[in-house]
Chain A
Amino acid sequence: MKNILLSIQNLQTHFFLDEGVVRAVNGVNLEIPLGETMSIVGESGCGKSVTAFSILQLIASPGRIVSGEIVFHRPNSDNVVLTNHKERDKRIRAIRGSEIAMIFQEPMSSLSPVHTVGNQIMESLILHTNLGKTEARLQVIDMMQRVGIPNPVQRFNQYPHQMSGGLRQRAIIAMALICRPKLLIADEPTTALDVTIQAQILQLMRDLQTEFEMSILLITHDLGVVAEMANQVAVMYMGKIVEQAEINELLTNPQHPYTQALLESVPRRGQQPKAKLKVISGSVPNPFEQITGCPFHPRCEEFSDGLCNQGDPPVPFQFRDNQHVACFIREKDKTQ
């Protein structure tokens, strides 16, 4: 049994809009092991970012965590049930940025345009420790050096618009890691970067992960990034995890029809040059809709009438040692 750092049980985060209720996260169960990288993949709007925001209690009105429990198993300290604390609670604020940190998708907009980069990196350090300004500044410069920002002393006083996208993303990583968090939530950390910078940033995150012994929750829609980074992968579709497996298992032997379709829609080496990529038929359903049976059945190639469109959605079952699938068909095949 591995040590678990964070466990999410039956998380439901809904958004109450005038047009109806969006069940962005609708019953997610997830365990993030200590020191490993767990990745959540899925299309836009499947609820992966909302899951991440729910962990830090950053869901703002009209959204609300309706039910479920998120427990932070702090190594060498007591457990904290994050869901017991409101968005503005002191307790949760003390954890944000110090023990659980987050980096965001767009390096341009996640830094304030009117404050220096150094000031913004230093902020968490000043908030969460008793360090004085001079000492904090030295630590920030050290961290900037470590994330690969050249001339950190000069860069400390620069503004975000004076930096390139790659440098800004490095500054954001420095901002997240400055307090040495146990868990780093990375929401599409490389999406806005070009491919060469992407590879550097991923390498950097891996290096720092080993150095700081932290867990990473990696949110992405890029299966290439997942293959490079993750130990465990959870595939989300319409607010639910449809398949969760160890990375190699998932890439070589996907079970859920949605996972299979996702993997086939990515170009591979050795493919015929003009071969058409697979397209998942149909589109993501209207978010207000509640689909009976399996939420994927209207788009599923293996759809079987009477089995997939009946009753409650499927619950993940253990398909193999390290692979859980939520699919009626697989479950039926397995039990027979």
Chain B
Amino acid sequence: MFSLIVKRILWMIPTLLIISIISFIIIQLPPGDYLTAYISALGETGETVDAELVEALRNRYNLDEPIYIQYIRWMKGLIKGDLGMSFEWNKPVKELIFQRLLLTVTISIATLFFVYATAIPIGIYSAVNQYSWGDYTFTFLGFIGLAIPNFLFALILMYLADIVFGLSVGGLFSPSYQNEPWSLGKFLDLLGHLWIPVIVLGTAGTASLIRVMRGNLLDELRKLYVIAARAKGVPNVNLLLKYPVRVALNPVISNIGWVLPSIVSGSVITSIVLGIPTTGPLLLRALMNQDMYLAGSMIMMLSVLTVIGTLISDLLLIWLDPRIRYETREK
């Protein structure tokens, strides 16, 4: 078991290395570099740029070097924990993204909990009461949740929260707490704001997980071992939770691997609409301006999150399903 976990963690290294190469290449793919983007942006406003200054900047950031040298330079920094400088903000990348990364992780984890806490019970209910009114209602709501684009849903929720409940919406903190240090009040204020992005980001995932859970459980409920357990006289609720639900959870758990990255990447537009300082809006800007160290570092951080999410789901599966446990052991 322990060696398995170590092996899985070691496997993360080549995975991340490949991700870093691919993302670095993609960031470099558009013609030109940060300075050409910078010059054209200035040109649009009518200013001209001193050619010598451009040349000096280009030398300073080593933008003339071949791509693989730039990559190696970047990787060397990464290993030492130096994420490089952001051209646009003229600040170290670490400083820029740390707060945002923390918020992204908070929102993602909260959303993940929301998704599982609602999808699993509803999925169980829908399967056990297949074709009942409740099942139809949840199916209907689920399809609406899947079909509404997140930004629209965000706008609707903000409108409702503001007009109907009179809550301060947008951002993650009320104006009074915005620049305060952390305190219980600030934390509660965060919770008060967190629910909108969590619901917006979680609805689509919840809807699809309800379908997965319902479908799996329906399959399991018809299996002979469920009837066999009933023939032993096991009370209904115990039976449901002990046998079919546990087996049906398996694919739901393995979904963590892809639910997590989809929440992280899906949060870009939502964050812009809701004005939440997560990594999403910053990443979008960095990509548009070819701010390569900023963009690269953020993509790396998000990849690490995704790979960790997959690891967690794998470990949960091993814990949940003995068949996987023994298969991995035999290998």
Interface residues of A (CB under 8 A from B): 56, 58, 88, 93-98, 101-102, 104-106, 109-116, 120, 123-124, 127-128, 159, 161-162, 172, 175
Are B236 and A88 in contact (CB-based, < 8 A)? yes
* Contacts of B172-195 to chain A: CB distance below 8 A: none
Residue from A93, A98, A116, A175 in contact with B235 in the complex, judged by beta carbons closer than 8 Å:
A93
Q: Which residues from chain A contact B230 at a C-beta distance below 8 Å?
A: 58, 96
Partner of B234, one of A95, A102, A123, A159: A123
* CB-nearest residue of chain B to A103: B228
Closest residue of chain A to B244 (Cβ to Cβ) is A112
Between A and B, how many residue pairs show CB distances below 8 Å? 75
Distance in Å from the Cβ of A86 to the closest Cβ of chain B?
Answer: 12
- 0/1 interface trace, chain B 226-256, chain A, CB 8 Å (1 if under): 0111111111100000110011000000000
Contact A95 B228 (CB under 8 A): no
Stretch at the interface among B15-23, B134-142, B263-271, B318-326: B318-326
Within 8 Å CB of A105, what residues of B? Answer: 224
* B247 touching A114, Cβ below 8 Å: yes
B interface size (C-beta, 8 A): 22
Residue of B nearest to A128 (CB): B233
B326 and A162 contact, CB distance less than 8 A? yes
B interface list, Cβ under 8 A from A:
223-225, 227-236, 242-243, 246-247, 320-323, 326
Contacting residue for A159 out of B223, B233, B236, B322, CB 8 A: B322
Question: Is the Cβ of A98 less than 8 Å from the Cβ of B225?
Answer: no
Assess whether B232 is in contact with A114, with CB atoms less than 8 Å apart. no
- State the CA gap A12–B224 with chains docked (Å): 23
Contact B224 A104 (CB under 8 A): yes
Give the chain A neighbours of B225 by CB distance below 8 A: 109-113
* 19 extra interface residue pairs, beta carbon distance < 8 Å, beyond A97-B232, A113-B323, A128-B233: A58-B227, A58-B231, A93-B233, A93-B234, A93-B235, A102-B228, A110-B224, A110-B225, A111-B228, A112-B229, A114-B320, A114-B323, A115-B242, A116-B322, A123-B232, A124-B233, A159-B322, A161-B323, A175-B232
CA gap between A80 and B233 in the complex, in Å: 16
B323 contacts A159, CB within 8 Å? yes
